[in-house]
Structure 1
Amino acid sequence: MRIEQTKVNQMNIKKDMKVSELMEEFENCGVLGSGRVARASDLLAAMINEEDMHIFMSMAGPQVPGGMRNIIAYMIKHEYINVLVTSGANITHDLLESFGGRHYRDFGDDDEKLNKAGIGRIADVYTQNDDFEIFETEINKIFDKLSKKLDNPKDKGIISINTLLHEIGLIIDDENSILHQAAIHNVDIFAPGIVDSMLGLQLWMFTQDHNLILDVVKDMHHFSDLVFESSEIGGIFLGGGVPKHYTMASTLLKGGLDAAIQITMDRPETGSLSGAPLEEAKSWSKAKCGSNLANVVGDATIIFPLIFAAALDKIQ
């Protein structure tokens, strides 16, 4: 049996070339990681250009501390994504910057010395305890406003996570904030693991003497509506964990994803969802048979800006 083969074209790099031109070199080469990155970039542009496709994006890991905040806010502002599912930690760090805090670049310092200096480390990113003290003060002011707003017989202090994040986004005044852009552009944000974060800790402490109750199941009512309202569903998965599975499992209601991109550092051998290739989702009907899928192994803070920058030249 003869298998049709396409020759590998060696990559050419030139001075002042555009990112999209580099991606063309990746595509023409078409092997190993470069080919996968090029296919993911083409698929990203195709998903965004598909008028009937609603794009659900999930974001796990320290994407905001890792510098991805403005990119996600930009995508929301330009309506390139319709739904964002993320960790409570990324929401926390988005708010930290909205409240005047910062993330700092450095590496190599002794962690015990950092502890004494009031600095927390996320790989090569540093945060200051003082910024979290401001975060605590500001988020409690917002919780207090929301608690008073919900203090009526109708609401009984109960609010969904999605609505909580929307209300917070309306209150904060920061054009670069993911939460704020989502609130003003009516892009839904879900954070099913919100309690596992500094934001969740502050919420728990606030509820000790205030009437503010999260209804997690209520989110699923709204999320399922969004799935059913979508003619086609595209997925962008940065990392794995709870955000990835929450997004994928919900698409079961519509027969699974029509197209998706995954960027992860996790491995498939352990059987965890985080490292599972998207093709595995077909066996669970979380991705449709015949769906267009692209898997890239690597750091999302490197690869996603690259594929998105190249895709921008192809987005109509």
Structure 2
Amino acid sequence: MKVNQLNIKKDMSVSELIEQFDNSGVLGAGRVARASNLLVNMINDEDMDIFMSLAGPMVPGGLRNIVAGLIREKRIKVLITSGANITHDLLEAFGGKHYRDLGDNDEELNDAGIGRIADVYTRSDDFEVFESEIIKIFKTISNKLDNNGDNGIISIQRLLKEVGLLIDDENSILKLAAENDVFIFAPGLIDSMFGLQLWMFTQDNKLIVDAVGDMHYLSDLVFESEKIGAIMLGGGLPKHYTLASNLLKGGIDAGIQITMDRPETGSLSGAPLQEAKSWSKAKQGSNLETVIGDVTIIFPLILADALNRIDD
């Protein structure tokens, strides 16, 4: 089969562009097209539950509404993410914002109460509001646990659901997940501003987070699902938690990974998905696609194309 040269025209749609990528079928463009085709198949498969993992600053990087939309439309069953993305979702839910174009002199930014994440910025004033509001929510949850006789013990997944039920923001990932029975897991939750505030709250209040308790929920979800597809945006702990949980049943049935990391160091973040088959984290014969590139560019492209082509 020959390589077709790309033809770009004025006013072409995203799907027309991805079709050009598919016809070329090589290098990064071909990988993007194959990932988009696989995403269409995953969404169209009524027997497949989709697990999504988020690593890196996906909420500060502009993907909050995309993830919220997937939850609202019940495209995904499980979200596995970092504590940082949880924190930044709540930052916006409490009225804070993420900013751009504030410069790159980090000492001056620090003096002005501004934190930088590459080209994204946050203000310390917004974090002060976050800290105040999340402590109020922790207090409400702690009182509820006492009244229910739970002895102050709660799993991470249940804690995040309870937080989501107390948020007044229709675009919040946590709120939408709580309302639409989408399960959120954050195995590295303590390594975040959310975790820091949680630790501070527990110094004077009874609230015990049971991380192992999450495996009861997660293993049930894995075994209840006829098939599982995974969308892994970035690598790290969320990617591994997604794959390792499916080890219980021989691995995922399909998966898409978008990452900027390289495989040469042996890191999980840069490992091609095919490698997961050697660990039974992906099934033999599973359909897998790894795309090397910036998640904030590639995932919106393939999702926009996929939504144009699904069977709704």
TM-score range relative to shorter protein: over 0.9
Shift of 1:105: 1.0
Judge which range, 99-108 or 245-254, deviates more. 99-108
Where 2:146 maps in the other structure, the secondary structure is coil
Q: Deviations over 1:20-77 (max 9, x none)?
A: 1110000001111000000000100100100000100100000000000000000011
In structure 2, the gaps of 5 or more residues are: none
What RMSD, in angstroms, separates the aligned Cα atoms of the two structures?
0.8
Name the CA distance, whole Å, in 2 between partners of 1:254 and 1:48. Answer: 21
Q: Deviations over 1:124-177 (max 9, x none)?
A: 001000000000000001001001001147300000100011111111011111
Does residue 143 of structure 2 align to residue 148 of structure 1? yes
Q: Deviations over 1:72-99 (max 9, x none)?
A: 0000111111000000000000000000
Name the CA distance, whole Å, in 2 between partners of 1:53 and 1:172. Answer: 30
Shift of 1:313: 1.1
Shift of 1:108: 3.9
Letter in 2 for 1:141: K
Of 21, 29, 38 in structure 2, the residue corresponding to residue 43 of structure 1 is: 38
Of 51, 57, 61 in structure 1, the residue corresponding to residue 56 of structure 2 is: 61
Where 1:42 maps in the other structure, the secondary structure is helix
Partner residue in 1 for 2:245: 250
Does residue 193 of structure 2 align to residue 198 of structure 1? yes
TM-score by length of 2: 0.99
Name the CA distance, whole Å, in 1 between partners of 2:281 and 2:36. Answer: 22
Does residue 108 of structure 2 align to residue 116 of structure 1? no
Shift of 1:107: 5.5
In structure 1, the gaps of 5 or more residues are: 1-5
Of 231, 235, 241 in structure 2, the residue corresponding to residue 236 of structure 1 is: 231
Partner residue in 2 for 1:176: 171
Mapping of residues 199-218 of structure 1, within 5 Å: 199-218=194-213
Name the CA distance, whole Å, in 2 between partners of 1:178 and 1:143. Answer: 18
Letter in 2 for 1:222: Y
Where 1:159 maps in the other structure, the secondary structure is strand
Letter in 1 for 2:167: I
Letter in 2 for 1:177: S
Mapping of residues 32-111 of structure 1, within 5 Å: 32-106=27-101, 108-111=103-106
Letter in 2 for 1:272: S
Letter in 1 for 2:125: D
Letter in 1 for 2:249: K
Q: Deviations over 1:185-244 (max 9, x none)?
A: 010000000000000000000000000110011100110000000000100000011100
Name the CA distance, whole Å, in 2 between partners of 1:107 and 1:254. Answer: 48
Of 14, 26, 36 in structure 1, the residue corresponding to residue 9 of structure 2 is: 14
Name the CA distance, whole Å, in 1 between partners of 2:104 and 2:142. Answer: 42
**Residue identity (%):** 73
Letter in 2 for 1:105: R
Where 1:127 maps in the other structure, the secondary structure is strand
Letter in 2 for 1:237: M
Partner residue in 1 for 2:291: 296
Name the CA distance, whole Å, in 2 between partners of 1:213 and 1:135. Answer: 21
Partner residue in 2 for 1:219: 214
Number of residue-to-residue matches in the alignment: 311
Does residue 130 of structure 2 align to residue 135 of structure 1? yes
**Large movers: runs of 4+ above 6 Å:** none
Q: Deviations over 1:270-290 (max 9, x none)?
A: 111010000000000000010
Partner residue in 2 for 1:160: 155
Q: Deviations over 1:263-306 (max 9, x none)?
A: 00001011110100000000000000100001000110000000
TM-score by length of 1: 0.97
